A and B are shown apart, each in its own frame.
Chain A
Amino acid sequence: MSSYRIVGIDLGTTNSLVAFMQGESPAVIPGEDGLNLVPSVVALDEKNQPVIGNAARKYLAETPERTVYSIKRLMGRGVDDIQEELKFFPFRLAEDLQPGEVLRIKLGDKTFTPPEISALILRQLKRNAERFFGAPVAKAVITVPAYFNDAQRQATKDAGRIAGLEVLRLVNEPTAASLAYGLDKKQNGIVAVYDLGGGTFDISILKLHDGIFEVVSTNGDTHLGGDDIDNLLITIALDDTLGDLSLDLRRNAEAVQAIRKAVIEAKIALSSQPSAKLDIELPGDKRYLREITREQFEQLIRPIIDRTVGPCKQALKDAGLKPEQIDEVVLVGGSTRIPKVRALVKELFHRDPHTDLNPDEVVALGAAVQANILGGGSEATENMLLLDVTPLSLGIEVAGGVTDKIILRNSTIPASATQFYTTQIDGQANVAIHVLQGERELAKDCRSLARFDLKGIPPMAAGMARIEVKFLIDANGILNVSAREQRSGKESEIQVQPSYGLTDEQVEGMILDSFDSAEEDFRQRQVIEARNEAATILAALDKGKKSPAWGQLTTDEKKKIAKMEKALIAVKADDDYQAIRKAIDALNQGTTRLAELMMDSAVSVALKGKTMDEADMGEGPTAPHPMAKAEFE
């Protein structure tokens, strides 16, 4: 039943969730606070310890310089890519960043790379799941926006590794959502998934065919979402306060956070009310008051939500479909709660979209379905298979700075292409390859993925070497490159060095850092578990002593049991979980005859201490769980 331990994770811009397959349907695992959503916020507390999720939210206003949110926007990106983000997000870059280095963000006086911050969020989700299962979790499926490029995917995978998770698969968010929807309605047809989240937009068109979920086309914008609406409203409020109150708050992080909180609340309210009021306390005993009607709001956000139209039309075109040919439209992401967004989708696809599943949870639920499939499947997921595509074309730079596309966008993955290279001069030992991702014709307009160096080519006359380079995009949408020289006698593998993102060693180093504390966490949980178990068996023994079977034991047996009971009570208070377990085992053994006698006398009180095996986990989140909050001290 190892598949139980593979969890599905939605690592979102605004919120993150972890889910698992509970019997035949996926369920979200709540945190210790009982809430399903873990805000993707990371803060450092007074003792420099990371605080994650709801607990970190209070630091947003109190110590904004020690807090970070929307880190997903920086995943897999370089300094040059994020100038636009820096205008709107309070990301504080490390001052000593070297060119070409992976970004580092300052929290207090420490610095973290985006994968490390994401790893802290993932670790929190992992802990929530472990607490829920009462057992360690080591494997996960993590979702990414369909339109994420190679570097962004790699950064997400790195984050998983840093968090101590083996990432079995990266699944595209809209595709995951379709899995969650497809589970109960096993039918054939064409489905469009419109996914407008906190920071990213995806549109995917899928063909459902007897359990096969085949993505036909996908498109999107990895920098478009609810965040943009918030920023627009914040900008207006800041302009207002500057104009009306002569108060320049742009550099006042605390005030900006207060405004941000208020506009988000107003935005949410406007999805169900005709108008919302902004009432914000500002420094110097001033107040910002403003009423905003839904009509005004819709006018303001029109330019933002209109940016989803182009990708939708392109996805339809790439799929060779007309809007009428779409059988169902599914909405995903919190921003699809906005009535104007729903109206736009209806206009685009000529039909009412589905909203049966919670748009905040559907991606995580789908990730849990995929986790179940990877774990060997169950009755519910039998015959289900996901065939996804690569969102962007893969190209190689050729003479003249032109991109030669070798794997076109919307190709089903895994996909591969083989190119042949040769040397230009006698004895040349290296060949440089520039790999690009994007749709533009010129290399400079595409995203540079990596510069590979083919090294160690055996010395030969110019043009004699024949180097076969295989580019393979795996099922995670991540590029793998292998190369071999064919002309020289032996087929020597040639070393390839990607020039982007964290190196393996860097990731290793980061894992160890967090691994140490993960070990400590796990040890603490083991202690709590063992104590709970000890309490269970001691309670059962008390019951046993009152049963008629007790009288059937010899004095010697009773003495032995009393001794072992005492020993267990003694070690129970200590932090050594192995000692507690040992004492439990001893008492278990010593009371075997008592248990048998009780069984014989048909007193059906199980004295055997229940171990926390997986049989207990089937009850799921609705049943009181052995590791439920109340049992933590």
Chain B
Amino acid sequence: MRDEQTEMTKAPLTTITAKPAPEETQTCWSCGTMRAVHFCEFCGKVQPPAPVDYFTFFGLPRKLNLDVTALEEDFYELSRKLHPDINARAGSQEQEWSLQQSSLLNDAHRTLKDPIKRTQYLLKLEGVELEEQSKSATEQARSTGELKKQIVPPDLLEEVFELNVQLEELRMQKKMGEDDPALIEEIGRQKLELEEKHEALLEELRTHWKTWDRLIEREQAGKVVSEDERKQARDKMVDLLNRRNYIRNLVRDVSEALGE
């Protein structure tokens, strides 16, 4: 059951900290005695899935720094209750609920355990349409050979310009059947640098998480957080994810040009 003392830490496993607050009188459809969420604590029966977000499903606040080991433990524990194998002998309605609940559990776990997917998901919950969301548009552009209009992150402008010139040169040489080991080595070196940058951005993202999480904590403590503050924190993460995405695509292009 949700109560005030759980606000700073993770709520107990079987509790949904739904927004808006869940109905207090929810009971197990089967035995009717306990307040039940994913499954009844009293008789163990799987409950019909509630349309909740992934954080809520695990009884977590919408914070980005999360204990992945604890998440995994919860995932295993919930799997033992919700998985279709466990409910294979139940009635067809219960089996259907088990299938729904279990897929929700797996989808939620898969999304939350990965730092990037988790951030993207939170931003989506917050109403942000990410560049990454239009992945299909990117791929369509790639397939038709058209260049997708992408804003080059300012700090990469110079580097990207130079790299593109070199890539063009490499493609020309390949067409002519020539081979320039020095150029290939140079491009390879730049690719390595980009990959390092790609990694470093993940670290940078973690500092933005802290800013966001502090806002959530203040909110939980009953303090007012302005929409402006939220937006600032969100925008920083959006910008970073776009930069990271840009670099990732660039690395992919380089790999392709190198014939890797």
Given A399-B140, A411-B110, A412-B110, do A404 and B88 touch, yes or no (CB 8 Å)? no
Q: Is B85's CB under 8 angstroms from A475's CB?
A: yes
Determine if A212 and B76 form an interchain contact, defined as CB atoms under 8 angstroms apart: yes
| A416 at interface, CB cutoff 8 A | yes
Q: Once bound together, how far apart are the Cα atoms of A412 and B106, in whole Å?
A: 6
Q: Is B11 close to A, CB under 8 A?
A: no
Whether A385 contacts B85 in the complex (CB less than 8 A), given A414-B99, A415-B103, comes out as yes
Q: Given A373, A399, A472, A473, which contacts B85 in the complex, CB threshold below 8 Å?
A: A373
Distance between Cα atoms of A212 and B78 in the complex (Å)? 12
Chain A interface size, under 10 / 10 to 19 / 20 to 34 / 35 or more: 20 to 34
Q: Is B79 part of the binding interface, using a Cβ–Cβ cutoff of 8 Å?
A: yes
With A212-B79, A376-B89 given, is the CB distance from A402 to B103 under 8 Å? no
A139 to B48 Cα, complex, angstroms: 27
Chain B contacts for A374, CB-based, 8 A: 85, 88-89
Q: CB within 8 Å of A: which of B104-155?
A: 104, 106-107, 109-110, 135-136, 139-140, 142-144
A474–B88 CA distance with the chains assembled, in angstroms: 13
B143 and A385 contact, CB distance less than 8 A: no
Contact, CB under 8 Å: A387 / B107: no
In the bound complex, residues from chain B placing their C-beta under 8 Å from that of A212 are 76, 79-80
Chain A 591-620 against B: per-residue CB contact (8 Å), 1 yes, 0 no?
000000000000000000000000000000
A402 contact set on B, CB distance < 8 A: 136, 139-140, 143
Asked if A209 is at the interface (CB within 8 A of a chain B CB), the reply is yes
Closest residue on chain A to residue B80 by CB atoms:
A385
Residues in A neighbouring B103, C-beta threshold 8 A: 413-416, 472-473
Given A169-B85, A441-B142, the answer on whether A416 and B104 have CB atoms closer than 8 Å is yes
Q: Enumerate A398-449 residues with CB–CB distance to B below 8 Å.
A: 398-404, 411-417, 441-442
Residues of A within 8 A of B52 (CB): none
**Roughly how many angstroms separate A131 CA and B83 CA in the complex, as a whole number?**
33
Specify which chain B residues have a CB less than 8 angstroms from the CB of A44 in the assembled complex.
none
The chain B residue sitting closest to A3, CB to CB, is B89
In the complex, the answer to whether B139 meets A386 with C-beta atoms within 8 Å is no
Task: Report the minimum CB–CB distance from A1 to chain B (whole Å).
Answer: 13
- What CA separation (Å) do A261 and B85 show in the bound complex? 42
CA distance A475 to B109 in the complex (A): 16
- The answer, yes or no, to whether B17 is at the interface (CB within 8 Å) is no
A42 on interface, CB distance cutoff 8 Å: no
Cβ-neighbour of A415 out of B76, B106, B135, B139 (below 8 A)? B106
Q: For window 49-81 of chain B, which residues contact chain A by CB distance below 8 Å?
A: 76, 79-80
Hey, which chain B residues are within 8 Å of A323, CB to CB?
none
Q: Are A475 and B136 in contact (CB-based, < 8 A)?
A: no
What is the distance, in angstroms, from A468's C-beta to the closest C-beta of chain B?
12
Does B47 reach chain A (CB closer than 8 Å)?
no
B86 contacts A413, C-beta separation under 8 Å: no
Which chain A residues border B84 with CB–CB below 8 Å? 414, 474-475
Q: How far is the CA of A166 from the CA of B133 in the complex (A)?
A: 41
Contact of B79 among A168, A387, A472, A474 (CB under 8 A): A387
Please report the C-alpha to C-alpha distance between residue A385 and residue B105 in the assembled complex, in whole angstroms.
15
Asked if residues B85 and A414 are in contact (CB atoms below 8 Å), the reply is no
B15 at the interface (CB under 8 A from A): no
A497 to chain B, nearest CB (A): 21
Query: Closest CB-CB distance, B258 to chain A, in whole Å?
Result: 18
| Chain A proximity of B84: nearest CB distance (Å) | 5
The answer to whether A108 has its CB under 8 Å from any CB of chain B is no
| Structural contact, A475 and B99, CB atoms closer than 8 A | yes
Residues of B within 8 A of A373 (CB): 85
**A590 within 8 Å of B (CB atoms):** no
CA–CA, A408 and B54, complex, Å: 18
B28 to chain A, nearest CB (A): 21
A414 and B139 contact, Cβ closer than 8 Å, known pairs A374-B85, A385-B80: no
* Bound complex: CA A231 to CA B225 (Å): 71
A319 to chain B, nearest CB (A): 14
* Cβ–Cβ contact B106 & A385, under 8 A: no
Instruction: Point out the residues of chain A lying under 8 angstroms from B79, CB to CB.
Output: 212, 385, 387
Residue of B with least CB distance to A370: B85
Q: Is A136's beta carbon under 8 Å from chain B?
A: no
CA–CA, A416 and B102, complex, Å = 10
Query: Which of B79, B107, B109 has the most C-beta atoms of chain A within 10 angstroms of its own C-beta?
Result: B107
Which residues of chain B from 168 to 205 have a CB within 8 Å of any chain A CB? Answer: none
Tell whether A387 pairs with B83 under 8 Å between CB atoms, given A412-B106, A442-B143, A472-B99. yes
- Least distance between A408 CB and chain B CB atoms (Å): 9
Please indicate the chain B residues that have their CB under 8 angstroms from the CB of A50 in the complex: none
Q: CB-nearest residue of chain B relative to A6?
A: B88
Cα of A376 to Cα of B106 in the assembled complex, Å: 22
Cα of A231 to Cα of B83 in the assembled complex, Å: 42
Determine the distance from Cα of A411 to Cα of B115 in the docked complex, in whole angstroms. Answer: 16
Closest to B88 in A: A374
Q: A375-B89, A413-B106, A472-B99 are in contact. Are A441 and B76 (CB under 8 A)?
A: no
Residues of A within 8 A of B85 (CB): 169, 370, 373-374, 385-386, 475
Residues of B close to A209: CB separation below 8 A = 76
CB-defined contacts of A414 to chain B, threshold 8 Å = 84, 99, 102-103, 106
A310 to chain B, nearest CB (A): 15
Q: How far is the CB of B94 from chain A (nearest CB, A)?
A: 14
Separation of A404 and B83 alpha carbons in the complex (Å): 28
* Contacting residues, chain B, for A412 (C-beta < 8 A): 106, 109-110
A591 CB, nearest partner CB in chain B, Å: 39
| CB closest chain-B residue, reference A209 | B76
The answer to whether B106 and A474 touch across the interface, beta carbons within 8 angstroms, is no
Docked Cα-Cα span, A535 to B80, in Å, equals: 49
A566, chain B: closest CB distance, angstroms? 47
Quick one: closest B residue to A396, CB to CB? B136
Bound complex: CA of A386 vs CA of B84, how far in Å? 10
Q: A373-B85, A402-B136, A414-B103 are in contact. List 19 more A-B contacts (CB 8 A).
A: A169-B88, A212-B76, A374-B85, A375-B88, A383-B80, A385-B79, A385-B86, A401-B143, A402-B139, A402-B140, A411-B106, A413-B103, A414-B84, A415-B103, A416-B103, A416-B104, A441-B139, A472-B103, A475-B85
**List of 9 A-B pairs having minimum Cβ-Cβ separation, nearest first:** A414-B103, A400-B140, A374-B88, A416-B103, A404-B136, A412-B106, A475-B84, A398-B136, A402-B139
7 A-B pairs in the complex with CB atoms less than 8 angstroms apart = A209-B76, A375-B89, A387-B83, A400-B143, A403-B139, A417-B107, A473-B103
